[in-house]
Amino acid sequence: MNVLARAGRHATLVMAAGVLLGLALPPLAALFRPFLLPALLIPFTVALARIDLGALAASFRPPVLVPAAVLWSLLGSPLLTAFVAAPLDLPPLLYAALVVQAACAPLFSAAALALLLRLDASLALLVTLAATAFVPLSVPPLAFGLAGLSVDLDGWALTLRLVAIVGGGFLAARLARRVTGAERLRALAVELDGLAVLGFAAFALGIMVDVQGQLLARPGFVLLCLAAAVLLNAGLQALTALATLPFVPRRAALTLGLVAGNNNFGLVLAAMGGAAPADLVLFVAVAQLPIYLLPALQAPLYRRWLDQGSDP
């Protein structure tokens, strides 16, 4: 069995190992830091290449599902987060980070993560693409007005970056699908899972470069950031899944929870560039821990729930 196949068969363990290695070995993390954007794009492109556009269009069942999911992701969840976090007397930058995290579109890799968890990758991809298109309009006013974040975020620059990244990933995926063929891609499912997982792991390694030093210097603040990130991720996943379960199949409800809780703050951070405060960068890094570690706990639970349910 080749390396990609092994990574694909042990996906959640490889993802968890990536983030833990980045935390434990800062010199190794530093080697991966320049490759954050390519690593972020690999799972997105792999998921796009594997998913049939007909199935993607069929995800508009019921028709209001995707628009409602996008509205909740970009507006409802940050408003709820602000409402819950405001009375907690958190450090101002942590409060702002939580609200902006909730306001971001789902991870580019959400569809790949959905595939790994046996959820509806087409629905995850559709919500991700639709939400990402509106991020330049939604995130700046929420970040500055609701969260009170004092960062010069250029909406037009973010728009151009999103167009380049999403458009580039889409074109690369369509080219791969045309050259390789749908049948061959299906035959390589395990290897493609492995490629996506290695992209996850590489991003985790690079983003964690400064976390160990901050943990030793300011353990209380780092642990507070971690607790807040875990509660935000798991809370949005659980709340969204439970709220939608009466209206959609079990797999769709879990998928909507997945995309609601795993947000792409990394892209917004990249748009901020050097203007991003150090503690904001630290929060984004620490927030990767639940993103990478929770699937290892979710995978067996979701497998059991889906097998017990009637979803295909």
Residue 312's pLDDT is what?
43
How far is the C-alpha of 191 from the C-alpha of 58, rounded, in Å? 26
Check: CB of residue 254 under 8 Å from CB of residue 302: yes
Residue 102's pLDDT is what?
95
CATH of domain 3-300: 1.20.1530.20
Say whether 97 sits in a helix, a strand or coil. Answer: helix
Q: Where are the domains of the chain?
A: 3-300
Residue 151's pLDDT is what?
65
How far is the C-alpha of 101 from the C-alpha of 243, rounded, in Å? 20
Residue 261's pLDDT is what?
96
Residue 43's pLDDT is what?
81
Residue 55's pLDDT is what?
64
Please tell me the pTM assigned to this model.
0.83
10-41: burial string, b at 16+ Cβ within 10 Å, e else: ebbebbbbbbbbbbeeeeebeebeeebeebbb
Cβ count near 249 (within 10 Å): 17
Residue 155's pLDDT is what?
59
pLDDT by 10-residue block (mean), the chain, 312 residues: 79 82 91 85 81 65 85 96 94 93 89 85 87 83 77 66 77 86 82 85 87 91 95 97 93 95 85 78 91 85 78 46
Long-range contacts of 15-18 (CB under 8 A, 24+ apart): 15/197, 15/200, 15/201, 15/204, 15/292, 15/293, 15/295, 15/296, 16/292, 16/293, 16/296, 17/201, 18/200, 18/201, 18/202, 18/203, 18/204, 18/205, 18/292
Any idea what the Cα angle at residue 39 is, between residues 48 and 58, rounded to 5°? 15
Residue 186's pLDDT is what?
82
Please report where in the chains the tokens 């997982």 appear, as a residue: 197
Cα of first residue to Cα of last residue in the chain, in angstroms, is 29
